[in-house]
A and B are shown apart, each in its own frame.
Chain A
Amino acid sequence: MPRCTIIKNGRIVDPKNNRDEAADLYILDGKIASKPSNEILDTAEIIDAQGLVVSPGLVDLHVHFRVPGQKHKETIRTGTSAAAAGGFTSVVCMPNTSPAVDNAGTVQLIKDIVDKEGVVNVFPTGTITVGRQGEALAPTGSLSRMGIVAISDGGKCVQNAGLMRRALQYAHMFNVPVIDHCQDYSLSADGVMNEGFVSTKLGLRGIHKAAEDIIVARDITLSTHTGAHIHLQHISSKSAVDIIRRAKARGINVTAEVTPHHLALTDSEVESFNTNFKMNPPLREEEDRIALLEALEDGTIDCIATGHAPHTDYEKDVEFDYAPFGVIGLETALSISLAQLYHSKRLSLLGTLSLLTSRPAEILKLNKGTLSEGADADVTLFDPEETWTPQFKKFFSKSSNSPWIGRELKGKVKKTLVAGKLVFDGQKILAD
């Protein structure tokens, strides 16, 4: 007899199929199914989703799980637990580990650890260059054969345009997308926050928007000439949005993501010198924030990704200049996205969830992010109205470097299923 689960009485929202209706969802042996026979139904486990949204499991194209090499910040176990608690069932982890993912052995190591500890699906990426040094191409073909879904120098940007051109040409041969953190170092050097009024007032060194814009334009130019797919990470500036919008109108093979914190926060937060607002790219100004929201509305930016970047509290508990860049995001992303897009009435629930499910899955051709019949039963149940307040040291992530600590959020994940199996019940992880 097949193993059956019924999610009853929920509001099923499946952007891939443009479906938004009150209905029951059937899962047979870990796959989304049509209504089974009464005989099977009689044996089914029932999950009551009354008052909840039943969504495809969320997909995050950009997380840092720090394994191998920095288990004091995060492990595959804690990172995937944070993902499950945030409603994410599939995540793409960046290769800026120690050692970096520039060889097949490290990919295999990560896959082995994921098999042992992972709570959700983890898709590794490889580096663009050896050791992320920006000097010599990493073995993209071998990495691709091992199952990486893209290449990126994870947190670093290849500065040499000639090398980046070769990387795009070479990766295109294997149909491997290239993911870039867009930043020209000659313009961002030593900067710790956005360059603007606030940095001027505080006396902190700035990272000018032009540092992002120039590489966005460069990458789009290189994509134009190579035909390769370039995916631009965490876009933060209004002018970069404009460049991408024009590129898309010309049919260039470019996609882009934005983080929840860049959608919701501005550099004015840095006035507190709170290092949980230190990230790279930095929080920009209000006109940039609005441009990012508009870019999601019109499709210029394709999806939301967290850039989940765990750092220990003692690493962040230092002078602003010396704190590492980055904040965690997996457990708060849904709430922030709902607030900025759905609750603010910029997008429907269907539109908002597409940015967290079907669109990111399509970008890296992951067979995820949908409740279509036959798909893996990765499902997230959440209450879009429930409020909660993140607390220091209360995250499932090993780290607590969140800008949302102490701020009331709206929208709470109640259950997360991976391949039909309940991995998060709203309180705890049930993976074992």
Chain B
Amino acid sequence: MSWNRKDLITIEELSSEEINTLFETADAFKKVLGRKTAKTPALRGKNVVNLFFENSTRTRVAFEMAAKRLSADVTSLDMKTSSTAKGETLRDTVENIRALAADIIIIRHSAPGSAGYIAKILDIPVLNAGDGAHEHPTQALLDCFTLREKWGDLKGRKIAILGDILYSRVARSNIWAMNKLGAEVTLVGPSTLVPREFERLGAKVSHDLKSALADKDAVMLLRIQHERQNASAFPSLNEYTSMFGLNADRFSWLKKDAIIMHPGPINRGVEIDSDLADSSQSVILEQVTNGLAVRMAALYLCNGGAAEAAIA
């Protein structure tokens, strides 16, 4: 088994072998999820703590359910109303939670690098559920796991990521993951949200939607995070939709059997037409389901793995 990590902080530091190990583990857990009693004892007796300093629904619930499927005890904390709001430092917060016998910490935080920062402080596994605009490793893993289910593998595939790339941890993690798995990534969107610097990460950059979508096997839409754009990166949502929103006409520019992905939450009618989001080529809900198996695999592997019997 190619996994010796205590933590899952970034895709950047993972090898393709490690990613594949995680996928194989997720395959096994997905089978477990299909059983009548969809639960394994892998983390029985372990305390998993969800620390969410930012809003989240699906990631938080998915991690919580994944931990419960592994028989762990789970505590989920909304840190916006916690001691950090009273001025406590992140170090003090996590050291206190560790002192309460936490065995695994899952953290979402608005500051890039925060998950890696606490992973260095703590002697227990830390899983990054999104650190600012830096990385969101389990999202990229579930995205690639979903594509792998459709295609067998990602080698030679061409994928467009369309939307708010600059502020997107999903885009950054997916660029790393997709490149490591042999796919080619093209980033598309307005120049203010898709800077040229991303080319040095191994992605192509385009501001021309038609040519960027022309030969792609999949398109991943990203939510336009207008709440983060205090210095407006484009004139209006209407302008964005008219220039870069995915509609049926533009979807026809992709390959015939192209896949539509979105990490959610969706702004229907902004980055994607509602009908397309619900179409047969959309895998948006499959992504969510796969997120459970992938997060079970991540929790299981970072906890040191166990005998195969634990999965079976």
In residues 200-214 of chain A, which contact B (Cβ within 8 Å)? 200-204
Instruction: Indicate if the CB atoms of A321 and B197 lie closer than 8 Å.
Output: no
Residue interface bits A138-182, CB-to-B below 8 A is 1, else 0: 000000000000000000000000000000000000000000000
Residues in B neighbouring A273, C-beta threshold 8 A:
112-113, 116-117
Residues in B neighbouring A204, C-beta threshold 8 A:
112-113, 132-134
Residues in B neighbouring A388, C-beta threshold 8 A:
none
Question: Counting CB contacts under 8 A, is B89 at the interface?
Answer: yes
Q: How far is the CA of A201 from the CA of B132 in the complex (A)?
A: 12
Question: Counting CB contacts under 8 A, is B268 at the interface?
Answer: no
Instruction: Indicate if the CB atoms of A319 and B113 lie closer than 8 Å.
Output: yes
Question: Counting CB contacts under 8 A, is A197 at the interface?
Answer: yes
Knowing A203-B132, A203-B172, say if A321 contacts B112 (CB, 8 Å).
yes
Question: Counting CB contacts under 8 A, is B80 at the interface?
Answer: no
Instruction: Indicate if the CB atoms of A318 and B132 lie closer than 8 Å.
Output: no
Chain B residue nearest to A322 (CB atoms) is B111
Knowing A273-B117, A314-B89, say if A200 contacts B112 (CB, 8 Å).
no
Residues in A neighbouring B198, C-beta threshold 8 A:
200
Question: Counting CB contacts under 8 A, is A46 at the interface?
Answer: no
Interface range for A: 10 to 19
In residues 123-170 of chain B, which contact A (Cβ within 8 Å)? 131-135, 166-167, 169
Q: How far is the CA of A255 from the CA of B93 in the complex (A)?
A: 47
Most buried by B among A314, A319, A320, A322: A319
In residues 340-382 of chain A, which contact B (Cβ within 8 Å)? none
Question: Counting CB contacts under 8 A, is A317 at the interface?
Answer: yes
Chain B residue nearest to A193 (CB atoms) is B112
Residues in A neighbouring B1, C-beta threshold 8 A:
none
Instruction: Indicate if the CB atoms of A189 and B231 lie closer than 8 Å.
Output: yes
Question: Counting CB contacts under 8 A, is B109 at the interface?
Answer: yes
Question: Counting CB contacts under 8 A, is A36 at the interface?
Answer: no
Instruction: Indicate if the CB atoms of B200 and A197 lie closer than 8 Å.
Output: yes
Question: Counting CB contacts under 8 A, is A134 at the interface?
Answer: no
Instruction: Indicate if the CB atoms of A321 and B117 lie closer than 8 Å.
Output: no
Question: Counting CB contacts under 8 A, is A196 at the interface?
Answer: yes
Instruction: Indicate if the CB atoms of A318 and B112 lie closer than 8 Å.
Output: no
Residue interface bits B164-206, CB-to-A below 8 A is 1, else 0: 0011010010000000000000000000000101101100000
Chain B residue nearest to A203 (CB atoms) is B133
Question: Counting CB contacts under 8 A, is B114 at the interface?
Answer: yes
Instruction: Indicate if the CB atoms of B169 and A319 lie closer than 8 Å.
Output: no
Residues in B neighbouring A322, C-beta threshold 8 A:
111
Residues in A neighbouring B169, C-beta threshold 8 A:
203
In residues 192-245 of chain B, which contact A (Cβ within 8 Å)? 195, 197-198, 200-201, 231
Q: How far is the CA of A197 from the CA of B114 in the complex (A)?
A: 20
Instruction: Indicate if the CB atoms of B132 and A317 lie closer than 8 Å.
Output: no
Minimum CB–CB distance for A405 against chain B, Å: 15
Instruction: Indicate if the CB atoms of A203 and B89 lie closer than 8 Å.
Output: no
Residues in A neighbouring B89, C-beta threshold 8 A:
314, 317-318
Chain A residue nearest to B172 (CB atoms) is A203
Instruction: Indicate if the CB atoms of B111 and A321 lie closer than 8 Å.
Output: yes
Minimum CB–CB distance for A189 against chain B, Å: 7
Question: Counting CB contacts under 8 A, is B122 at the interface?
Answer: no
Instruction: Indicate if the CB atoms of B231 and A202 lie closer than 8 Å.
Output: no
Question: Counting CB contacts under 8 A, is B44 at the interface?
Answer: no
Residues in A neighbouring B112, C-beta threshold 8 A:
202-204, 273, 320-321
Question: Counting CB contacts under 8 A, is B110 at the interface?
Answer: yes
Chain B residue nearest to A187 (CB atoms) is B231
Q: How far is the CA of A320 from the CA of B133 in the complex (A)?
A: 13
Instruction: Indicate if the CB atoms of A318 and B116 lie closer than 8 Å.
Output: no
Question: Counting CB contacts under 8 A, is B91 at the interface?
Answer: yes
Residues in B neighbouring A321, C-beta threshold 8 A:
110-112, 132
Residues in B neighbouring A189, C-beta threshold 8 A:
231
Residues in A neighbouring B166, C-beta threshold 8 A:
200
Question: Counting CB contacts under 8 A, is B77 at the interface?
Answer: no
Minimum CB–CB distance for B104 against chain A, Å: 20
Minimum CB–CB distance for A184 against chain B, Å: 13
Residues in A neighbouring B97, C-beta threshold 8 A:
none
Q: How far is the CA of A320 from the CA of B116 in the complex (A)?
A: 11
Knowing A202-B134, A203-B132, say if A319 contacts B117 (CB, 8 Å).
yes
Q: How far is the CA of A22 from the CA of B116 in the complex (A)?
A: 53
Which of the residues B90, B135, B195 comes within 8 Å of A319, measured between beta carbons? B90
Q: How far is the CA of A247 from the CA of B200 in the complex (A)?
A: 35
Q: How far is the CA of A204 from the CA of B111 in the complex (A)?
A: 8
Which of the residues B110, B116, B172, B231 comes within 8 Å of A201, measured between beta carbons? B172
Minimum CB–CB distance for B194 against chain A, Å: 10
Minimum CB–CB distance for B162 against chain A, Å: 18
Residues in A neighbouring B201, C-beta threshold 8 A:
200-201
Q: How far is the CA of A317 from the CA of B120 in the complex (A)?
A: 12
Chain A residue nearest to B136 (CB atoms) is A203
Q: How far is the CA of A322 from the CA of B132 in the complex (A)?
A: 13
Which of the residues A196, A197, A203, A314 comes within 8 Å of B134, measured between beta carbons? A203
Minimum CB–CB distance for B4 against chain A, Å: 21
Chain B residue nearest to A201 (CB atoms) is B201
Residues in B neighbouring A202, C-beta threshold 8 A:
112-113, 134
Instruction: Indicate if the CB atoms of B111 and A200 lie closer than 8 Å.
Output: no
Minimum CB–CB distance for B198 against chain A, Å: 6
Residues in A neighbouring B200, C-beta threshold 8 A:
197, 201
Residue interface bits B77-117, CB-to-A below 8 A is 1, else 0: 00000000000011100000000000000000111111011
Chain B residue nearest to A315 (CB atoms) is B89
Chain B residue nearest to A205 (CB atoms) is B133
Chain A residue nearest to B169 (CB atoms) is A203
Chain A residue nearest to B231 (CB atoms) is A189
Instruction: Indicate if the CB atoms of B172 and A197 lie closer than 8 Å.
Output: no
Instruction: Indicate if the CB atoms of B110 and A318 lie closer than 8 Å.
Output: no
A-B contact pairs, 13 of them (CB 8 A): A201-B172, A201-B200, A203-B133, A203-B169, A204-B112, A204-B113, A204-B133, A273-B113, A317-B89, A319-B114, A319-B117, A320-B111, A320-B113
Which 7 pairs across A and B sit closest by C-beta, in order of nearness?
Answer: A203-B133, A273-B113, A319-B111, A203-B134, A200-B197, A321-B111, A203-B112
Which B residues lie at the A interface, using CB under 8 A? 89-91, 109-114, 116-117, 131-135, 166-167, 169, 172, 195, 197-198, 200-201, 231
Given contacts A200-B195, A204-B133, list 13 more A-B pairs with CB under 8 A.
A200-B166, A203-B131, A203-B133, A203-B134, A203-B172, A204-B112, A204-B113, A204-B132, A273-B112, A317-B91, A321-B110, A321-B112, A322-B111
Which A residues lie at the B interface, using CB under 8 A? 189, 196-197, 200-204, 273, 314, 317-322
